Amino acid sequence: MGAGRAVGLLLVVLLTMPRARANCGEREYFHQGLCCVFCEAGTFVADHCSASHLKGKCDPCKEGKDFTAHANGLEGCLPCRQCREDQIILRPCTLTQNAECQCKQGYFCDDESCEVCQRIGQKHPDGKEILLNSTDTADPQGREALLWFIPVLLLSGLGLLVVVAVVVKKLKCDKAASTDKDVEGYLVREQSQIIVKDLAQSELRETFDVFTKEVPPQQWKQLMRTLLQENDIDKIISKFPDNREEQSYQMLFIWKNRLGKKQCIIHLLDALRHIDTKAYYSVSNTLKNNNIISKVEAED
C-alpha cells in the first residue's frame, strides 16, 4: 500500500513538472521553477524573484551604453548600436530604444542589415561617375530650361494617368472573373501534410541555409516573431551585428531547441506561408528536391 502511494505521488510530480513553465503569465518568465514578473523596459534583472508571480530586483541600463526595448527577464542590457564612419546618427540610443543609423548624404543601403553604405551615382556620357547630390553650381540656362520643361512634363503625366486608370480598370475586371477559380485551386494545393525526414546535423544546417537564402531580409524579423520574443531577436543581432547569416542561424537554432528538428521545419513553413507565399513555395520546393520534406495530399 505504501509503495502504491509513493508511485502515485511520483506520477503527480512528473505530470506537474512540465506544466510549470506553461503556468507563467504573459508578463512573466520561467526561472528555476519559478514564474518571475518581467522587469520593465529600460531595466534588466539584477536578482531573480524568490517566489512565483513576484518581481525580482531590476536595475536600470546605462544611458547611451545599453538598453532594453521591452519588458524582459534578461540578466543584462543589450549594447547600443554604434554608427559607422559612413553613417550619421538618426536617433541616439536611450534606455528603451537602440540607436538608429543612416548612411550619409549621397550613400544608401540595399538591405536591412546595412553592412556597407554604397554611393548613389550615375554615369555621365563620357563614362565618368557623377553624384546625384552634387553641390556643384548648375548652369543658369539649364535651370531656365528646366522651369519650362516641368509644366510640359506635368501635362504629359496627367494624360498618362488617364490611360493607366483605364488599363487598371480593365485588368481588375478580367481578374475578378477568375478569382474564385484561383482561390479554389490554391486551397486544393494547400490541403497537404508536410512530412520531415530524420535529419542529420549537416542536413539541418543545409535546411536552415535554404530559409536564410530564400526568405527576403525585410520579411525575416516578421517570420522570427511568430516564435521568438523581440528581446531574443535583439540580443542575437547585438551579439552578431555585422553577420546576418549567423544571426539567422542562431535564431533558427532557438526554434530547433524549442520545437525539435521536425516540428521546427513544419512550423517555419506554416508561418512563412502566411507571410510570403512566393518565398514559401521557393523554400518548400527546394527542401522537397533535397529530399528533406515530402508532401502527402489530404484525403477528402
Alpha helices in the chain (DSSP H): 2-16, 19-22, 140-190, 201-214, 217-224, 230-239, 244-259, 261-275, 277-289
Query: Is residue 164 in a domain?
Result: no
Query: How many Cβ atoms from other residues are within 10 Å of residue 170's Cβ?
Result: 10
- Give the model's confidence band at 113: pLDDT under 50 very low, under 70 low, under 90 confident, else very high: low
Q: Is the pLDDT of residue 139 over 60?
A: no
- Give the model's confidence band at 54: pLDDT under 50 very low, under 70 low, under 90 confident, else very high: very high
Q: Stretch 36-61: mean pLDDT, rounded?
A: 95
Which amino acid, 228?
Answer: L
- Give the model's confidence band at 116: pLDDT under 50 very low, under 70 low, under 90 confident, else very high: confident
| Residue carrying C-alpha cell 548652369 | 139
Q: Stretch 118-128: mean pLDDT, rounded?
A: 60
**pLDDT score at 117:** 87
Query: Is residue 182 in a domain?
Result: no
Query: Is residue 210 in a domain?
Result: yes
Number of domains in the chain: 1
- Between 231 and 20, the more confident residue is 231
Rounded Cα–Cα distance for residues 238 and 139 (Å):
48
Query: Is residue 251 in a domain?
Result: yes
**Range in 110-124, 197-211, 273-287 with the lowest mean pLDDT:** 110-124
Rounded Cα–Cα distance for residues 139 and 130 (Å):
16
Query: Is residue 263 in a domain?
Result: yes
**pLDDT score at 234:** 87
> Tell me: the pLDDT tens digits for 24-47?
888 999 999 999 999 999 999 999
Q: What is the pTM of this model?
A: 0.45
Nearest CA among 248, 219, 212 for reference residue 233: 248
Q: Stretch 199-215: mean pLDDT, rounded?
A: 90
Q: What is the mean pLDDT of the chain?
A: 77
Query: How many Cβ atoms from other residues are within 10 Å of residue 114's Cβ?
Result: 17
Query: How many Cβ atoms from other residues are within 10 Å of residue 212's Cβ?
Result: 18
Query: Is residue 256 in a domain?
Result: yes
Q: Stretch 203-215: mean pLDDT, rounded?
A: 91
**Range in 63-67, 206-210, 235-239, 247-251 with the lowest mean pLDDT:** 235-239
**Range in 78-82, 109-113, 188-192, 288-292 with the lowest mean pLDDT:** 188-192
Q: Is the pLDDT of residue 157 over 70?
A: no
Query: Is residue 183 in a domain?
Result: no
- Give the model's confidence band at 133: pLDDT under 50 very low, under 70 low, under 90 confident, else very high: very low
Could you list the residue range(s) of the whole structural domain that residue 215 is in?
A: 191-297
Sign of CA dihedral 242, 246, 251, 254: negative
Sign of CA dihedral 163, 169, 172, 173: negative
Q: Stretch 16-22: mean pLDDT, rounded?
A: 43
CATH number reported for the structural domain that contains residue 232 in this entry: 1.10.533.10
Query: Is residue 218 in a domain?
Result: yes
